[in-house]
Amino acid sequence: MDRANDQAANSLLKTLEEPPDHLVLIMTAENAYDLLPTIRSRAVPFQFAPLSKEEMREFVQARDLDQPERRIALAAGSPGLAVSLDLEAYDKRRAAMLTLLKVAAGAAPFGTWVPVSETIGRSKNEKLDLYLKVLYELLRDLLILQQTGGEIRNDDIRRDLEPLAARLQFAWIRRAVGRVDEIAQLIRRNIQKVIALDALIAELRG
């Protein structure tokens, strides 16, 4: 529901105010505060807690999904995500965002980003929020590696992440998360993804 534009969300107001007796509407959102206040005020909040790792493992194994451990780690307790996750597409986005972080951190020259940026620009069906979700995951892993060296979600590329985490300061990671938050807020305004990502690199690299 948080992905709906204002017009689509407002079209539900009448139904939410006077729903038929037989109807129960369940609207999902990653963040309730991304919803319009008029929608929030007419809904009853209900939190779905993530499944434990053991529950996720049982779920994934029962469906004989490929690369079960990766799906469990990346799904973060969401069985629906574990099933729907396209690992090939995820890996492509992750490679692009890892390059972005390396360039933004000064660990790689800006020229390394240019062909990646061009490829992203040509992929018309790839929405900016898909890249931002991967970027959040990588920043989370970098913070864990820097602070505790504990379990991360992208453990298959730990060797790539560890040297990057070693050269970053906590303040840089915090600033990066803040900038990504700002970009996420602009998605509804149809911000161009390449311009947004290029600007992110320029801000963090400067």
What DSSP string describes 118-163? HHHHH-TTS-HHHHHHHHHHHHHHHHHHHHT----TTGGGHHHHHH
Q: Give residue 196's pLDDT.
A: 96
Specify the pLDDT at position 169: 96
Residue 10, amino acid: N
CB 205 within 8 A of CB 104: yes
Question: Which amino acid, 116?
Answer: V
Instruction: Retrieve residue 91's tokens.
Output: 């890996």
pLDDT of residue 44: 87
Q: What is this structure's pTM?
A: 0.83
pLDDT at 100: 98
What's the confidence (pLDDT) of residue 144?
A: 98
Helical (H) or strand (E) element with 69: helix 68-75
The series of mean pLDDT values per 10 residues for the chain, 206 residues long, is 80 85 85 84 87 96 96 95 96 98 97 97 90 98 95 97 97 98 87 95 92
Domains for the chain: give ranges and CATH numbers: 6-40 (no CATH), 53-84 (no CATH), 87-205 (1.20.272)
CA distance 11 to 8: 5
Chain centroid to CA 100: 15
